[in-house]
């Protein structure tokens, strides 16, 4: 049985007016076999300007090479001509399948929603061989699983069928953007800047949840999230704007405000945080509310007994190592403050020299993490980066003092004569070294408070009280936590304890001779420009023997937060 294809031709687009640019074609239909062709004519008024005009596909903009057109792809085509700055009418041409193996499609376009599909049929000499034939993407060669095609990617696609060694004509399918309203919504319009509080987004299209298929862009930072990612947390207080995209559509803009936790306006402080437990040595308390003195109007509770003090002074005789107090005023309860009678709590200061390109550094960080899980709450860590994007301007001071020959390297309590090689340290080694330095005890206690103003400037107040009279030096460093970045082949490593700035001299600013149980207060400022709000201030107190320092204690305080004096207890 032989099949013939007949194409009816008629003159299309007759000349239409004086000095109009007119495009006509000798036949409005052709066989999609790559051989059959149609011929265009372009007239400017009565003048034939075909040889000088430009004829192009109106949909793709592709310019014809001459005045003829042929194709092997079934479909409808529109053409337009231009000449001397003028543009012609459009002319349509339909390419139909010819004889032999014929691929047909039930539609020429679909929307890119991943659901709407085009259905193909394969015919051979009048017989349907769709189930036996193979249909593939003519560009990629990817074979369809069945005879339907759907996608969520906008573009022009061509398909071809094969059967018993024969190849069909090509069929074009245009995948276009969906129409309708894309809506982005969020469950929280305000979150805290703690990196844990999260705003979760939902993307809907015509009432249907398409969140997992949509892409969300943080327009404030310029970051485009991976498709399906739809929650947001931040350490940086600011106002952020977000938009979603899906199938070529853009959503509305949604705002999320990241705020700082407001500091407790009611503050209680002990004028002498450490006293003798002899019943006569005493401390007094001062209570402020939003900076104003409200001591006389406030109530002060002894949290050990649950009783309120009759005045703002306190003395003690007994076996306790520390007693906590809180103030109450105007319905607000302060954070507790501690008065101790024995030794201050000893923290060990660790300087860890590291770099993002250092493989052994990564290995030691894993060891250190386990060690701190085994023996927690005794280490104040400072990570000093070398020759990478996190290197501080103060880095040379540390390298020179500790004479660091290579990294990784670690030093405890400013002891530069006892450098440890992290590449050979085990978890047990780390724990034992921390215990060794902890056993030296703390000669001073440290308390801190810090505030952040609207310009993101941090003001930190550091209070130092010795349990042993002596000459002391105070050092203050700004650290940043939660920095996501590279680390020795890993792209999403979280860097903590990263040194950003040093507010004092390396060994610390001199506090002079300080008597036992006498508090010294110093104030420093840092700028958070270029950093997140996820920063901390570390204070350390050194003794000095010439230009050699030894750390007697260290403490850490979050920006916009407080850290009180701590004392050793029997449990610790």
Give one DSSP letter per residue of 41-107, joined into a string: EEEETTEE-TTT-EEEETTT-PBPSSSEE--SEEEEEEEEEEETTEEEEEEEEEEE--SSEEEEES-
Reduced to 3 states (helix: H, G, I; strand: E, B; else coil), residue 374 is: helix
One DSSP character per residue, 111-169 reads ESSSS--EEEEEEETTEE-TTTSEEEETTT-PBPSSSEE--SS-EEEEEEEEETTEEEE
**548 and 418 Cβ atoms separated by less than 8 Å:** no
Q: What does pTM read for this prediction? A: 0.64
Contacts of 193 (CB under 8 A, 6+ apart): 234, 235, 236, 237, 258, 259, 260, 261, 532, 533, 534
Burial class, 1, CB count within 10 angstroms (exposed 0-12 / middle 13-18 / buried 19+): exposed
Q: How far is CA 470 from CA 282, 362, 516, 552, in A?
A: 22, 40, 8, 12
- Per-residue pLDDT 10s for the chain (572 aa) are 344 443 444 433 444 446 899 999 999 998 887 778 999 999 999 999 999 999 999 988 899 999 999 988 888 899 999 998 899 999 999 988 777 899 999 999 998 778 889 999 999 988 999 999 999 999 999 999 999 999 877 788 999 999 999 999 999 999 887 777 889 999 999 999 888 899 999 999 888 999 999 999 999 989 999 999 999 998 888 899 999 999 888 889 899 999 888 888 999 999 999 999 999 999 999 999 998 999 999 999 999 999 999 999 999 999 999 999 999 999 999 999 999 999 999 999 999 999 999 999 999 999 999 999 999 999 999 999 999 999 999 999 999 999 998 999 999 999 998 888 898 999 999 999 999 999 999 999 999 999 998 889 999 999 999 999 999 999 999 999 999 899 988 888 999 999 999 999 999 999 999 999 999 999 999 999 999 889 999 999 999 999 999 999 999 999 989 999 999 986 55
């Amino acid at each position: 049985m032989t099949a013939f294809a007949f194409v009816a031709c008629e003159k299309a687009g007759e000349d239409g007016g004086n000095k109009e640019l007119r495009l006509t074609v000798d036949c409005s239909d052709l066989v999609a076999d790559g051989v059959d062709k149609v011929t265009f004519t372009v007239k400017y008024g009565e003048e034939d300007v075909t040889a000088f005009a430009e004829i192009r596909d109106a949909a793709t903009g592709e310019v014809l090479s001459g005045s003829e057109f042929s194709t092997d792809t079934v479909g409808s085509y529109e053409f337009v001509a231009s000449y001397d700055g003028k543009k012609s009418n459009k002319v349509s041409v339909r390419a139909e399948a010819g004889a032999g193996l014929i691929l047909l499609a039930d539609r020429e376009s679909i929307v890119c929603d991943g659901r709407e599909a085009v259905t193909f049929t394969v015919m051979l000499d009048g017989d349907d061989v769709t189930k036996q034939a193979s249909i593939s993407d003519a560009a990629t060669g990817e074979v369809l699983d069945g005879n339907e095609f759907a996608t969520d990617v906008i573009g022009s696609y061509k398909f071809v069928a094969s059967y018993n060694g024969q190849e069909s004509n090509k069929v074009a399918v245009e995948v276009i953007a969906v129409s309708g309203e894309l809506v982005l919504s969020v469950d929280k319009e305000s979150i805290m800047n703690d990196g844990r509080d999260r705003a979760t987004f939902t993307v809907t299209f015509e009432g249907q949840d398409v969140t997992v298929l949509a892409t969300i862009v943080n327009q404030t930072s310029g970051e485009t999230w991976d498709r399906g990612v739809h929650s947001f947390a931040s350490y940086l207080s600011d106002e952020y704007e977000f938009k979603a995209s899906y199938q070529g559509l853009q959503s509305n803009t949604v705002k999320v405000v990241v705020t700082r936790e407001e500091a407790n306006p009611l503050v209680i402080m002990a004028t002498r945080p450490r006293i003798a437990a002899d019943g006569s040595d005493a401390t007094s308390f001062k209570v402020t509310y939003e900076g104003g003195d409200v001591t006389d109007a406030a109530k002060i509770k002894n949290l050990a007994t649950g009783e309120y003090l009759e005045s703002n002074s306190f003395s003690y005789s007994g076996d306790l190592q520390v007693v906590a107090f809180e103030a109450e005023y105007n319905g607000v309860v302060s954070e507790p403050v501690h008065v101790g009678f024995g030794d201050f709590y000893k923290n060990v200061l660790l300087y860890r020299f590291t770099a993002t390109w250092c493989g052994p550094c990564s290995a030691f960080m894993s060891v250190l993490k386990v060690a701190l899980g085994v023996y927690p709450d005794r280490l104040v860590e400072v990570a000093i980066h070398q020759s990478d994007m996190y290197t501080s301007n103060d880095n040379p001071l540390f390298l020179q003092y500790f004479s660091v020959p290579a990294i990784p390297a670690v030093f405890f309590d400013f002891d530069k004569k006892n450098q440890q090689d992290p590449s050979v340290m085990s978890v047990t080694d780390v724990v034992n070294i921390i215990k060794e330095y902890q056993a030296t005890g703390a000669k001073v206690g440290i308390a801190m408070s810090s505030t952040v103003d609207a310009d993101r400037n941090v003001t930190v107040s550091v209070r130092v009280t010795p349990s042993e009279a002596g000459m002391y030096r105070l050092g203050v460093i700004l650290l940043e936590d939660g920095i996501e970045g590279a680390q020795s082949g890993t792209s999403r490593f979280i860097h903590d304890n990263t040194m950003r700035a040093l507010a004092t001299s390396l060994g610390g600013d001199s506090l002079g001779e300080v008597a036992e149980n006498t508090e010294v207060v110093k104030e420093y400022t840092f700028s958070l420009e270029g950093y997140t709000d996820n920063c901390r201030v570390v204070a350390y107190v050194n003794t000095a023997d010439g230009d050699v320092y030894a750390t007697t204690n260290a403490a850490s305080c979050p920006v916009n937060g407080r850290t009180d004096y701590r004392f050793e207890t029997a449990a610790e």
